[in-house]
Homo-oligomer: A and B are copies of this chain.
């Protein structure tokens, strides 16, 4: 089982890229190096990889775009961004694309190895130790978080990603107050005024869906947050 892990490394700084490649090889990885996004995508299409390491700043095709392209072809492959310092904005954007981790230059090989291990481990056990439930029952509803579908009786309501994330958080806090800022941080990644308003809009949508069972209610708790309650 212990075949060499195949890593796709996309990094436009050749010097740095080669050094990194060498280090990773020494640690038992099979590393293919590409120096721009297009080459990276081509390589990705040609071979099977276990993990992608993608520099964010690149000519021709930047890291985020590449990540998007890769995700379209394989939505599960582990993906780690290499970012320059102080790119908070980019980081957030990157996370939305769906990378599994990122690491800020300069970094130590040790640190990178740790993250690679962590990410591979996570990917290796897709569901087994996912400690977050994938299915909730809310009164008469069944909510499948992976399919993002809310079912009651025989009618299905497809949820958008944000609707689904928010409902999931509410479910995980059932009967407790889900603080506004907790939800904002976990789903929107910031606590700005507009994100807050956006969240209110989503709450409003969820309430509309949940009206199908009058026992289920999302209560607003002034100045605190929201609470999902099921009245028996």
From 131 to 177 in chain A, residues with beta carbon under 8 angstroms from any chain B beta carbon are: 146-148, 160-162, 173, 175-177
Is the C-beta of A74 less than 8 angstroms from some C-beta in chain B?
no
1/0 contact trace for A188-232 toward B, CB 8 Å? 000100000000000000000000000001010111110001010
In the complex formed, the residue of B with least CB distance to A91 is: B88
In the complex formed, the residue of B with least CB distance to A112 is: B179
Which of A3-11, A32-40, A113-121 is the contact stretch?
Answer: A113-121
Evaluate contact between B176 and A121: CB separation under 8 angstroms.
yes
Give the oligomeric copy count: 2
Q: A221-B161, A224-B161 are in contact. Are A179 and B114 (CB under 8 A)?
A: yes
In the complex formed, the residue of B with least CB distance to A225 is: B114
- Contacting residues, chain B, for A162 (C-beta < 8 A): 222
Evaluate contact between A118 and B224: CB separation under 8 angstroms.
no
> Which residues in A have some Cβ–Cβ distance to B below 8 Å?
86, 88-89, 91-92, 96, 101, 103-104, 107, 110-111, 114-115, 117-118, 121, 146-148, 160-162, 173, 175-177, 179-182, 185, 191, 217, 219, 221-225, 229, 231
Q: A161-B224, A222-B160 are in contact. Are A181 and B229 (CB under 8 A)?
A: no
Whole-angstrom distance between the alpha carbons of A147 and B228 in the complex? 11
List the 8 shortest-distance A-B pairs measured between CB atoms, nearest first.
A114-B179, A111-B179, A161-B221, A114-B177, A161-B222, A111-B181, A118-B176, A110-B224
Query: Which of B91, B219, B223 sits near A148, CB closer than 8 Å?
Result: B219
A191 to chain B, nearest CB (A): 8
A197 to chain B, nearest CB (A): 18
Q: A88-B88, A88-B91 are in contact. Are A110 and B223 (CB under 8 A)?
A: yes
A222 to chain B, nearest CB (A): 5
In the complex formed, the residue of B with least CB distance to A95 is: B88
Query: Which of B114, B147, B179, B219 sits near A229, CB closer than 8 Å?
Result: B147
Whole-angstrom distance between the alpha carbons of A191 and B94 in the complex? 20
In the complex formed, the residue of B with least CB distance to A114 is: B179
- A-B contacts, 23 of them at CB < 8 A, read A89-B104, A96-B118, A103-B181, A104-B191, A110-B223, A111-B180, A111-B182, A115-B179, A115-B182, A117-B176, A118-B173, A118-B176, A118-B177, A121-B176, A146-B175, A147-B217, A147-B219, A147-B229, A147-B231, A161-B221, A161-B222, A161-B223, A162-B222
